[in-house]
A and B are shown apart, each in its own frame.
Chain A
């Protein structure tokens, strides 16, 4: 994973709350077996509407999405994160995220920063008045700045550290391999095992 420090780019004001992962990427696109190439699938249903914000000329190469509360609720599909990332987004700012989505983001280098409802409203106002204006997100300071305005966002410390360092979770965990093996040596024999397969006709 690449280190994440600051990002400057076009910010998209999306005045919608409860944007579930079925809206971010419909299930029909989950049949692919690759981890990239999902940019065409992002917000697929809404993009059929020529008026949809991502169809507007000012927002053709965006990097930051500023969206309403409860973004990324619903399905666990990490494809939602891949689609945002493939489309070019590095940051999503929202007053509240679906838990699984937020976790997935942190593992894929997409920054999910939590902002207040008031700051979301203020940012929308500025972005809508200046379509295509660039916004700077500084992960070191945990701030987002546009024009004269700077707002702060929250991201949990551990995710922030991993993003700043560009660390891979599995590698980090495997440093504790001995402790995992130690834990396994005490596991009760009656805990379930899938192998060997057993069958009972009920």
Chain B
């Protein structure tokens, strides 16, 4: 026996971890004790005009600066008009809010992309487009659809205004660790079926509260085969399942998207970054707190019939009968939804006639989405009595689409070609539904009154939006093929080969 003090050698963390746990651990500033939350460092803070004014005010009152303006960026999106953007904003309260953001950004030294700027657009389109959204980072924004950025393998959280102020002041957030849920989607999507259909089917499966307290990780061959745009669509709607975030492990598709973007690492920084990014994927043997499995092979275009994103069915299906719903709360919610939507149980979804088609929002307004819809409507005319709004996600998306001639295709079809912003997704600007109007919308929420007081929303993919604009009733591209309106070969398979 000796008196030597034997200490254990430091054990490397060999416990298999999930992607979410790795990003979390990497950003731990202080570990919580006795029930207090962990303090998590925030790499990127995205700001817009709606949820920031009260946060800036709070800083001003407390005499605090923005700690890291170099990790903060702002854009104008929720309120901005999509017509006549060179003129003063007509709505005075909207104008005040935009002007308040401009004043605040000037005062606190925050980079701002204003209406008319080439980098202006929906905050969740702008971040990835600039290459600011990168694998393994933490991203926050005072907007629930911040989950979009998880498509890059980032931990991306929607936060409230108090938290916006907190991040501005400290570049950190006190957070309790989340549970993890694997959403495994294996198989191959059929042509005409998209990322949007995957996520609508997931939400219908687990419900609007099913993801509560979880970070979702989307895995499986169907996810791997998706483009970054498709992955963003899926992660975007994680919040509609109640989840705090959604993530996809970064891979060659992610790197190909990022490389060369304005704020992506370059030179040896790129190599260092990739070496780190390659370590992020969930380890073999890591366990999730829950798992959901979805078959991509059999998936059909998915649409909603009700007033929450979980109230969805296959497009070939009928409006469900509330009487057949076992759970009393869900049954009464369904009854209320059908009344609001003015739909009768048993109606074929494809018999539902719409007044408006909205192609846009942080869910589906990237150039790939516009391309897919343009491919369907090319050379055709919009259905009588239907209006279609096409709202690119950012000024740059608009320019890119115009360079490809997509604007001309939409205009010739009879659609309106607008400037970038959130637009009719939430109707904070003049782009709203009139009471009673029915809309096929590529956005993310079919809540009562979301797109305008009394407006009725059916959530759809860009392909279904396009086919619906042609036929006037909820339709998929395959209905056009059956009509003889569209060649079989024209139905796009919107996935890229896994080898990319």
Interface residues of A (CB under 8 A from B): 15-18, 20, 22-23, 26-28, 30-35, 45, 68-70, 73-79, 81, 96, 98-100, 103-104, 107-108, 156-158, 161, 169-170, 172-174, 176-177, 179-180, 183-184, 187-195, 197-200, 202
Contact A78 B263 (CB under 8 A): no
Residues in B whose Cβ lies below 8 Å from that of A103: 159-160, 163
CB distance from B424 to the nearest CB of A (A): 11
Q: Mark B251-264, 1 if CB is under 8 A from A, else 0.
A: 00000000011110
Which of B30, B32, B132, B213 makes the CB contact (< 8 A) with A99?
B213
Residues in A whose Cβ lies below 8 Å from that of B208: 18, 70, 73
Contact A179 B30 (CB under 8 A): yes
Q: How far is the CA of A76 from the CA of B141 in the complex (A)?
A: 9
CB distance from A144 to the nearest CB of B (A): 20
Q: Mark B269-286, 1 if CB is under 8 A from A, else 0.
A: 110110010000000000
Residues in B whose Cβ lies below 8 Å from that of A194: 44, 69-73, 111, 132, 263
Q: Mark B373-404, 1 if CB is under 8 A from A, else 0.
A: 00000000000000000000000100010000
Residues in B whose Cβ lies below 8 Å from that of A108: 162
Contact A200 B39 (CB under 8 A): no
Residues in B whose Cβ lies below 8 Å from that of A27: 78, 426-428, 450
Which of the listed residues A32, A73, A81, A180 has the most CB atoms from chain B within 10 Å of its own CB?
A73
Contact A17 B333 (CB under 8 A): yes
Identify the closest chain A residue to B39 (Cβ).
Answer: A176
Contact B158 A76 (CB under 8 A): yes
Contact A180 B308 (CB under 8 A): no
Contact A193 B263 (CB under 8 A): yes
Residues in A whose Cβ lies below 8 Å from that of B32: 158
Which of the listed residues A78, A156, A198 has the most CB atoms from chain B within 10 Å of its own CB?
A78
Contact B50 A31 (CB under 8 A): yes
Which of B100, B131, B144, B160 makes the CB contact (< 8 A) with A192?
B131
Contact B261 A78 (CB under 8 A): no
Which of B160, B239, B269, B336 makes the CB contact (< 8 A) with A189?
B269
Q: Is B165 among interface residues, defined by CB-CB distance under 8 A?
A: yes
Residues in A whose Cβ lies below 8 Å from that of B72: 194
Identify the closest chain B residue to A35 (Cβ).
Answer: B54
CB distance from A13 to the nearest CB of B (A): 14
Q: Is B437 among interface residues, defined by CB-CB distance under 8 A?
A: no
Residues in B whose Cβ lies below 8 Å from that of A79: 161
Other 4 A-B pairs with CB < 8 A, given A22-B449, A33-B97, A157-B35: A73-B208, A98-B242, A103-B159, A192-B132
Contact A198 B111 (CB under 8 A): no
CB distance from B157 to the nearest CB of A (A): 9
Q: How far is the CA of A191 from the CA of B71 in the complex (A)?
A: 10
CB distance from A2 to the nearest CB of B (A): 15
CB distance from A78 to the nearest CB of B (A): 4
**Which size class do B's interface residues fall under?**
35 or more
Identify the closest chain B residue to A22 (Cβ).
Answer: B447
Q: Is B16 among interface residues, defined by CB-CB distance under 8 A?
A: no
Identify the closest chain B residue to A199 (Cβ).
Answer: B262
Residues in B whose Cβ lies below 8 Å from that of A188: 272-273, 276
Q: How far is the CA of A77 from the CA of B111 in the complex (A)?
A: 23
Q: Mark B204-239, 1 if CB is under 8 A from A, else 0.
A: 000011001100000000000000000000000001
Q: Is B351 among interface residues, defined by CB-CB distance under 8 A?
A: no
Residues in B whose Cβ lies below 8 Å from that of A197: 111
Contact B329 A17 (CB under 8 A): yes
Residues in B whose Cβ lies below 8 Å from that of A33: 53-54, 57, 96-97, 100
Residues in A whose Cβ lies below 8 Å from that of B336: 16
Contact B166 A169 (CB under 8 A): yes
Q: How far is the CA of A14 from the CA of B277 in the complex (A)?
A: 48
User: Which one, B168-176, B194-202, B412-420, is touching chain A?
Assistant: B168-176
Identify the closest chain B residue to A81 (Cβ).
Answer: B160
CB distance from B152 to the nearest CB of A (A): 11
For the complex, would chain A's binding face be called helix, strand, loop or mixed by DSSP majority? Answer: loop
21 interchain pairs (CB within 8 A)? A17-B329, A22-B445, A30-B51, A33-B53, A33-B54, A33-B57, A69-B329, A73-B308, A75-B426, A98-B242, A108-B162, A157-B35, A158-B32, A176-B29, A177-B170, A180-B172, A192-B44, A194-B132, A194-B263, A195-B70, A202-B260
Residues in B whose Cβ lies below 8 Å from that of A180: 29, 39, 41, 170-172
Residues in A whose Cβ lies below 8 Å from that of B160: 76-78, 81, 100, 103-104, 107
Residues in B whose Cβ lies below 8 Å from that of A96: 209, 212
Q: How far is the CA of A39 from the CA of B299 in the complex (A)?
A: 45
Contact B158 A198 (CB under 8 A): no
Q: How far is the CA of A110 from the CA of B265 in the complex (A)?
A: 43
Q: Is B448 among interface residues, defined by CB-CB distance under 8 A?
A: yes
Nearest 7 pairs between A and B by C-beta? A104-B160, A107-B162, A190-B269, A33-B53, A78-B160, A190-B265, A31-B93
Contact A100 B172 (CB under 8 A): no
Residues in A whose Cβ lies below 8 Å from that of B30: 176, 179
Contact A26 B449 (CB under 8 A): yes
Contact A35 B57 (CB under 8 A): yes
Which of the listed residues A15, A26, A194, A197 has the most CB atoms from chain B within 10 Å of its own CB?
A194
Which of the listed residues A18, A79, A197, A199 has the most CB atoms from chain B within 10 Å of its own CB?
A18
Contact B242 A70 (CB under 8 A): yes
Q: How far is the CA of A16 from the CA of B54 in the complex (A)?
A: 30
CB distance from A125 to the nearest CB of B (A): 14
Q: How far is the CA of A34 from the CA of B58 in the complex (A)?
A: 11
CB distance from A107 to the nearest CB of B (A): 4
Q: Is B405 among interface residues, defined by CB-CB distance under 8 A?
A: no
Identify the closest chain A residue to B444 (Cβ).
Answer: A74
Q: How far is the CA of A98 from the CA of B143 in the complex (A)?
A: 14
Which of A177, A184, A190 makes the CB contact (< 8 A) with B273?
A190
Which of A68, A74, A179 makes the CB contact (< 8 A) with B445?
A74
Q: Is B37 among interface residues, defined by CB-CB distance under 8 A?
A: yes
Contact A191 B209 (CB under 8 A): no
Residues in A whose Cβ lies below 8 Å from that of B320: none
CB distance from B273 to the nearest CB of A (A): 4
Q: How far is the CA of A91 from the CA of B166 in the complex (A)?
A: 24
Q: Is B453 among interface residues, defined by CB-CB distance under 8 A?
A: yes
In the complex with contacts A26-B453, A103-B160, A198-B262, A32-B209 CB distance below 8 A: no
CB distance from B374 to the nearest CB of A (A): 19
Contact B70 A104 (CB under 8 A): no
Q: Mark B19-46, 1 if CB is under 8 A from A, else 0.
A: 0000000000110100111010101100
